[in-house]
Amino acid sequence: MDAFAFIIHPLSAKRDVARKYPLLGRVLPEPAIDFFSRFWPPVYISHVTGVRSLATGKEIEGWLIAVPYTVQRMLHLSPGEVYRKIIAAGRLAERLGAQVLGLGAYTSVVGDGGVTIARALDIAVTSGDSYTAALAIRAVREAMRRMEYEPAAVTLAVVGATGAIGGVVAEGLAGEVGSLLLIGRDQPRLESVAGRLRAAGAKDLQLSTAVADIQRAEVVITVTSAGGYLVRPEYLRRGAVVCDVSRPRDVSWQVAQARDDVLVFDGGLVQVPGAVDFGFDYGPPPTLTFGCVAETMALALEGRFEDYSLGKNLSVDRMQEIDALAEKHGFRLAALRSFERELPEETIARVKANLY
Ligand SMILES: NC(=O)c1ccc[n+]([C@@H]2O[C@H](COP(=O)([O-])OP(=O)(O)OC[C@H]3O[C@@H](n4cnc5c(N)ncnc54)[C@H](OP(=O)(O)O)[C@@H]3O)[C@@H](O)[C@H]2O)c1
């Protein structure tokens, strides 16, 4: 049977370690977990079964493997040390029989976005970022439709526009929205993304290095590796639609609580075709998964065992290709969710009512 593997890692040290080791998660304080994570080898988590293509009936299997580093660890260690642990996890995937490996959350962010890791391994590698971007675009289109926003009349802000996902999301939506506000930390890098978008036909572009400038946008996609809460309640305009793709999130629960006149939802969740059993609770509801996991599964269902999304410059063509492949095999955008719950219709109605 064709097979994939996917690497996960703890986003919240205590909560996520407790999912695998309830006792350790309960007794160890967060700094201790963070400290020991450096010496812990990659961990076999579970066998994934029941993923079946709607188009061909083909079934695949897979494995979840954890790299024990927390986000803070990965941000502070040298990329070389982090690569070594991820490559060791990749070797475990090879021994299990996987033909394609997906890099979850920060394991795809670190260093060169998977290029060095792919070079070191014998199996195909993908960051899953192309399908994550495609799903964020789908989710934002759906939210604009439900908020009755006319895309050509809105300003869309992309926070993290100089990143892999942010860049391709901005390019993918540039032709649909009235105006595009690219936000990043580094002006020359922003200019370079803007140059690429202009060459692709984007017209009304604004650049900023201040996250607070999202105040100008009706629609915000935030997709950074800031590692924590970046978007503050006072930055958002009334009626703002905010798609948070980042893991850990850029928008905290407190923002949603403080601002009941904005719509905050997760980007990138998708329904898996077949009767999937992940064998482990790694966060999403049982039949849903993240775009990066789904991209890895879709490649295995298609038998495309080649490096797919790697590096920091993703192409719109690849994003559209994987979107079509996933659609063909039966992956579907999940209902919009906000902080682990489906976004209720009343919330959308309330935000709309507050607009005028
Ligand atoms: N939901 C999902 O299914 C899914 C799937 C894959 C990835 N993700 C998440 O998506 C996010 C981005 O991934 P990526 O691969 O696009 O990462 P990336 O290529 O490393 O890009 C990260 C972006 O964040 C910006 N940034 C970093 N720290 C910042 C800070 N303190 N303030 C403002 N901007 C900051 C970077 O700006 P500079 O250019 O200045 O460095 C860059 O634009 C990550 O959180 C990742 O975990 C989610």
Report the alpha-carbon distance of residue 114 to residue 280 in Å, rounded: 25
64 with 103: CB under 8 angstroms? no
Which secondary-structure segment (H or E) carries 271? Answer: strand 269-271
Q: Which CATH architecture has domain 135-267+336-353?
A: 3-Layer(aba) Sandwich (3.40)
Of 309, 323, 296, give the one whose Cα is nearest residue 118. Answer: 309
Report the alpha-carbon distance of residue 29 to residue 13 in Å, rounded: 9
Nearest-atom number in ligand 1 for the CA of 185 is: 40
What residue's CA is closest to ligand 1, atom 5? 292
What residue's CA is closest to ligand 1, atom 28? 226
CA angle 282, 158, 329 (to 5 degrees): 50
Name the residue ranges covered by the structural domains of the chain. Answer: 3-130+269-333, 135-267+336-353
Report the alpha-carbon distance of residue 192 to residue 195 in Å, rounded: 5
50 with 277: CB under 8 angstroms? yes
Q: What is the pLDDT of residue 105?
A: 84
Q: What is the CA radius of gyration of the chain?
A: 20
What is the distance in A from the centroid of ligand 1 to the CA of 355?
A: 30
Going residue by residue through the chain (356 aa), what tens digit of pLDDT does each one get? 999 999 999 877 667 777 777 766 677 777 777 777 778 889 999 999 999 999 999 999 999 999 988 888 888 889 999 999 999 999 999 999 999 999 998 899 988 999 999 999 999 999 999 999 999 999 999 999 999 999 999 999 999 999 999 999 999 999 999 999 999 999 999 999 999 999 888 889 999 999 999 999 999 999 999 987 899 999 999 999 999 999 889 998 888 889 989 999 998 799 999 999 999 999 899 999 999 999 999 999 999 999 999 999 899 999 999 999 999 999 999 999 998 889 999 999 999 887 76
Question: Which tens digit of pLDDT belongs to each residue from 143-193?
Answer: 999 999 999 999 999 999 999 999 999 999 999 999 999 999 999 999 999
Report the alpha-carbon distance of residue 165 to residue 322 in Å, rounded: 14
Q: Is 289 in the pocket of ligand 1 (CB under 6 A)?
A: no
115 with 142: CB under 8 angstroms? no
Q: Is 270 in the pocket of ligand 1 (CB under 6 A)?
A: no
Question: Which of 225, 249, 282, 318 is the pocket-test mutation for ligand 1 (most atoms within 8 Å of CB)?
Answer: 225
- pTM of the complete model: 0.94
